[in-house]
Structure 1
Amino acid sequence: MTTDAAVDERATAAAVARFAEAFDRHDVDAVMAAVTDDCVFESTAPPDGVRHEGRVAVRAAWTAFFRDAAGSTFETEQQVVAGDRAVVLWRYTWPTGHVRGVDVFRVRDGLVAEKLSYVKG
């Protein structure tokens, strides 16, 4: 017998995995296919990040990020899923360095609705 929480957590993990695979490929179309129409992305830009709301704003933010991120990779260090939320600890590496951070995801109807990003430093 499966509980609703277990079903939610599997769906949450699958949605975040789909998003991450597209993000790792720098495939903005696939990333956008993995998010809700009213998606929210908060970047790590100092001091408090920049909030992007809705498909147009989020697409523009990720298009610019991918354009400027040649040679970079994300590595998931740990992922914890609880209901419709996922917390992903990661390491972002580019040709001359790296940074570690965390994303807090919220998933709705099998799609990422929110990605809030934080960085150490």
Structure 2
Amino acid sequence: MSDALDAVRRFQEAFDAHDVDAVMAAMTEDCVFEDTAPPDGRRHVGQAAVRAAWEALFTGRPAFRAEETMACGEHVVVRWHYGFDGGHVRGVDLFRVRDGLVAEKLAYVKG
């Protein structure tokens, strides 16, 4: 298993548990998260901004489920399913890992 895949799996376990502290411990100090807010998503940069984005997201108790994970070097792609009352959406996260930590998580939704 690749180091990048290991790093993303640690991140995903913390994410699935809605454990903000563990998610942030799995990310670099200069981390980037791009969410799927319409129309083009919002960009959150650095530990404080990304932490705030996770805290807001986890308040709603999101029902994400990873469907497939692929790694190529420092990049990992996770295809996911997000269920909610009245439906669901699918999307992908493009991760970049640096020094065993998630440096970027760029989210895209099928719509």
TM-score normalised over the length of structure 1:
0.88
User: Corresponding residue for 2:52?
Assistant: 60
Q: Which ranges of 4 or more aligned residues in structure 1 deviate by more than 3 Å? A: none
Instruction: From the CA coordinates, give the structure whose radius of gyration is larger.
Output: 1
d(CA) in 2 for partners of 1:57, 1:75: 24
User: Corresponding residue for 1:6?
Assistant: none
1:1-121 matches, cutoff 5 A: 10-68=2-60, 70=61, 72-121=62-111
Give aligned pairs, total.
111
d(CA) in 1 for partners of 2:53, 2:107: 13
- Higher share of residues assigned helix: 1
Q: Which runs of 5+ in 2 are unaligned?
A: none
d(CA) in 2 for partners of 1:30, 1:98: 26
SS at match of 2:39: coil
SS at match of 2:51: helix
Q: Which runs of 5+ in 1 are unaligned?
A: 1-8
Give the Å deviation of 1:11. Answer: 0.4
d(CA) in 1 for partners of 2:49, 2:64: 22
The percent of aligned pairs where both chains have the same amino acid is: 63
Give the Å deviation of 1:77. Answer: 1.4
